Chain A
């Protein structure tokens, strides 16, 4: 559903993925696959982040200093890159989620109007 080649819908889509990723990592450090799985499951299989959107998003966030990354061992002892929220990232998550709340409330108002 969220495909990276629909980027012409622009920042909104990209921003949404990043927001979801930030939220996923608010619960603690995770590797990329884990983030995608968590989002899919928590959204009740509705939102599936494509790998092509996920990893660029993770790397972008890392570049911007919102995430920090370490290499560690996964549950089944494979080497994986774990991402974790930085203080900046936490702050950004808060702002993004309040913005999203305002946005979705506004959309709801419009759609509910008759």
Chain B
């Protein structure tokens, strides 16, 4: 109790120092005055009153000091003093402070930025109540990797069962065409099933959410309802208070706005921002002939999740799904042969933890992000090693000061506290700046990484939450300890006498003690080399990716995506529209050639089909549907036969153009022209009229698959087609966008405004993760080399400065300047060589981890290793040169006198 009181009073005294001082002085003055009066009363002569008082009272200053001491808050006082002195010390060597802060900002900031990306993509749970009770459903058939895209009947069958899940829901992203003022606009949204909102337990901001009554087959007889996002409500309806009950024309169907979701609600896919939520049962109505629901068990498209029954774990759910799998299939699939095949392949449903929702993008970016994170960690480690070495070197320069302090009674712990405070200060300031910069960096990175989505807006929430803060704090503490403890321990460890005696003279003991900092610098060099090798490998791989033969010429190629699936024209009339559009476009300035295609290479559009030759086996081929002059526009060489023309209609017989791989596949060893190929299973016969060169389809890495090109004049796919115009332009493509839009507005005013992308940007987007990884690795390697160079320079500079008198003596005894330079240089060269050797070995071992990212580049590419080592050597040499030259300029006499 007394202690508590003491503590409180001392604490209060901290803030009232001056007042306390004044009061103490006043108290003592009062006593002195009273004493003086008493002496006077006792008859002491006035002249000697002062002397008598002082004799009796003693030295007031000393009592004041003692009183002050009583009230002191010992630990806090020490802390304050440490901080104050540390700041002063740091300000006296601004160069060192700047370098230290910079390396830390880089290390901690970069790591935090990357971590918040990882957090947003991989770690953050959905912002719904009890997200840990959510599970993602998958299917295993044949291969051990589950598939996550469900056919509608499977889901409907699952939806009915409630033993395992209290709610099961499905959703799928879709770009809807919503009628605006003059034409349709592309709006991002999702189809959601009836239990979607109930499972996610988020109430609507206005109105209601969709329920199972909205999700009945054929649509709710009372009318189709749609729920919109807060953002859509504000931007489309201007935040109108009467939005409930207003109508939206979506894909040529009227839906009524039934509710508005708050902007905190993001659905179950954390990377998508949906503006509208449409009932799943409305999909057949909205999509018409393109409906995936209508495709039954052939259409794999829905993501399915469920909320577990209370008390049921994910593992239990997973186990419970096994006996349910076949009964569900029997319910959902009418084709007995299909069911038999699935049974043979041990088809089953699976459940996985789903607290973070589900998105395919995770699969693409998990490994690149982790690789970048590892690189970041390397840079942080390097920064810490660098700072620790510099601090050790600086500590060595201060050892006389420290020894003197030790001799005067400071405890080793106090000294360590003081030194630790310096590094803690650097760590704190560096971390704070790094933390401040991190959100900008991570947002920029997210934009770069995710731009591969194309039309689909990807939204990555990289905002700082407690996890990121915790991480940054941890990084800062680790950094501070690494940087501070070791140098502090070392600087205060040596024998007192040696400290004071040695001064500037180098002795044997010095050399021995300097092994640790040298080892650290060597480790740093090794790390830098590893990062350089990684950067070299990734950038080489990227360059090779860009140089790979795509099969067509992307320079000057532009794609204009038109969506005509919801407008009025069809069949011949629609074809005529496209033909006219193409012709008008071809007369625009700069346009060399125009054609159309159904799928655009490298943009995640895939269309494949099974084909066979009569009497031969069936092979799967990629398919595209193209207009005349496609190959000429794309600059794909026409090897044999001829291209399509507008007169190649169905009446003239079905035709197909194969690429070289397909021709070799179906007609090995013979001429494919004039042969016939059959589609499987409907056995339609296509005459091969041409063979073209191979072109990449899915992505740059996969070699060109066998591809068949059908003519758009013979389109047999159900529903109104949408084609992308492929245009070759001379010069800048910008003005073409405006022309494309205005022509479309004139000819087909209903359709959404066409979206233009250059082929080069499509290619860039398809390899965005590789690009970002290469960019970042080069950046990190550059920083690592720079920091290592500065570290090498710094440590050598300190070491040389301390050996000034030794160098002076050597020179006085006849050593030539060149010898001195060589001697100083040699110090660092051992470190550099040892570090490089270590780093090379480590790089060879570690680069195996990068192997899966590399394209046609071996993880042990010798050229990359050579260049990396050369870079390190150059940096080390440059860093060592300056101190060496400065050492050579030392005047012997001045040096010897200098202590």
Given contacts A51-B58, A52-B58, A81-B23, contact A59 B70 (CB under 8 A): yes
Given that A52-B66, A55-B63, A81-B23 are contacting pairs, would A33 and B31 also be in contact in the complex, using a CB cutoff of 8 Å?
A: yes
Contact of A33 with B30 in the complex, beta carbons under 8 Å: yes
Interface residues as binary, B174-216 with A (CB distance below 8 Å gives 1, 0 otherwise)? 0000000000000000000000000000000000000000000
Q: Are A33 and B23 in contact, with the CB atoms below 8 A? A: no
Check if A64 is an interface residue, CB within 8 A of chain B: yes
User: With A64-B5, A65-B2 known to touch, is A74 a contact of B67 (CB < 8 Å)?
Assistant: no
CB of B35 closer than 8 Å to a CB of A: yes
Count of B interface residues, CB-CB < 8 Å: 24
Query: In this assembly, does B899 line the interface, its C-beta being within 8 Å of a C-beta of chain A?
Result: no
Q: Are B30 and A78 in contact (CB under 8 A)?
A: yes
A65/B5 contact (C-beta < 8 A), A55-B27, A55-B67, A80-B27 known: yes
With A32-B27, A78-B30 as given contacts, are A59 and B67 in contact (CB-CB < 8 Å)? Answer: yes
B786 interface contact, C-beta 8 A: no
Whether, in the assembled complex, A109 has its beta carbon less than 8 Å from a beta carbon of chain B, the answer is no
- In the bound assembly, the distance between CA atoms of A36 and B35 in angstroms comes to 11
Q: How many whole Å from A80's CB to the nearest CB in chain B?
A: 5
Q: How far is the CA of A87 from the CA of B2 in the complex (A)?
A: 13
Bound together, the chains give a CA A65 to CA B3 distance in angstroms of 9
The answer, yes or no, to whether A60 is at the interface (CB within 8 Å) is yes
Decide if B10 is an interface residue (CB 8 Å cutoff). Answer: yes
Measured in the bound complex, the distance between the Cα atoms of B5 and A27 in whole Å is 24
Contacts of B874 in A (CB 8 A): none
CB-nearest residue of chain A to B2: A64
Complex Cα distance, B56 from A60, in Å, reads 22
Q: Which residues of chain B in 402-440 are interfacial with respect to chain A, using CB atoms and an 8 Å cutoff?
A: none
Chain B nearest Cβ from A11, distance in angstroms: 15
Query: Counting CB contacts under 8 A, is A50 at the interface?
Result: yes
B30 touches A80 (CB 8 A): yes
Cα–Cα distance between A88 and B27 once the two chains are bound (Å) = 24
Residues of the A chain whose Cβ atoms lie less than 8 Å from the Cβ of B63: 51-52, 55-56
Chain A, residue nearest B59 (CB): A52
Measured between alpha carbons, how far is A40 from B26 in the docked complex, in Å?
23
CB-nearest residue of chain B relative to A71?
B23
Any B CB within 8 A of the CB of A23: no
Q: Does A6 have its Cβ within 8 Å of any Cβ on chain B?
A: no
Partner of A56, one of B23, B30, B34, B66: B66
CB distance from A87 to the nearest CB of B (A): 12
CB distance from B807 to the nearest CB of A (A): 54
Q: Does A84 contact B (CB under 8 A)?
A: no
> A74 and B66: CB pair below 8 A?
no
For B56, give the chain A residue with the smallest CB separation: A51
Residue of chain A at shortest CB distance from B31: A33
Take A51-B58, A52-B63 as given contacts and tell me if A63 and B30 are in contact as well, using a CB distance cutoff of 8 Å: no
Q: Give every chain B residue within 8 A of A51 (Cβ-Cβ).
A: 28, 31, 56-58, 63
What is the minimal beta-carbon distance from A22 to any residue of chain B, in angstroms? 14
Q: Which of A31, A33, A66 has the most CB of B within 10 A?
A: A33
- List the B residue with the shortest CB-CB distance to A92: B2
B667 at the A interface (CB under 8 A): no
CA distance A63 to B34 in the complex (A): 25
For A50, A51, A62, A66, the residue with the greatest tally of chain B CB atoms inside 10 Å of its CB is A51
Contact of A81 among B6, B26, B71 (CB under 8 A): B26
Contacts of A81 in B (CB 8 A): 23, 26-27, 30
Taking CB atoms, residues of chain B closer than 8 Å to A62 are 9
Task: Kindly list chain A residues whose C-beta atoms are within 8 Å of the C-beta of B812.
Answer: none
| B1 contacts the other chain (CB 8 A) | yes
User: Roughly how many angstroms separate A59 CA and B27 CA in the complex, as a whole number?
Assistant: 11
Tell me if B33 counts as interface (CB < 8 A to partner A).
yes
CB-CB under 8 A from A50, the residues of chain B are: 58
* Contact in complex: A79, B30 (CB < 8 Å): yes
Q: Give 1 or 0 for each of B739-763: 1 = CB within 8 Å of chain A CB.
A: 0000000000000000000000000
Chain A residues in 8 Å Cβ range of B27: 31-32, 55, 80-81
Note all chain A residues with C-beta closer than 8 A to B56.
Answer: 51
Residues of B within 8 A of A66 (CB): 2
Query: How far, in whole Å, are A66 and B9 apart by their CA atoms in the complex?
Result: 13
B58–A63 CB distance below 8 A: no
Report the bound CA distance from A55 to B603 in whole Å.
86
Contact with B along A44-77 (1 / 0, CB 8 A): 0000001110011001101111100001001000
- Complex interface: chain B residues within 8 A of A32 (CB): 27, 30-31
* B-side contacts of A65, CB under 8 Å: 1-2, 5-6
Would A31 and B58 be within 8 Å (CB), given that A56-B67, A63-B6 are in contact? no
Query: Is the pair A63, B67 in contact by a Cβ cutoff of 8 Å?
Result: no
Please report the C-alpha to C-alpha distance between residue A10 and residue B100 in the assembled complex, in whole angstroms. 51
Q: Which residues of B contact A64 (CB under 8 A)?
A: 2, 5-6
Whether A79 lies near B26 (C-beta < 8 A) is: yes
Q: Residues on A close to B: CB < 8 A?
A: 31-33, 36, 50-52, 55-56, 59-60, 62-66, 71, 74, 78-81, 88
Q: List 12 A-B contacts (CB under 8 A).
A: A51-B57, A52-B66, A55-B66, A55-B67, A56-B67, A56-B70, A59-B71, A60-B70, A65-B5, A71-B23, A74-B34, A81-B30
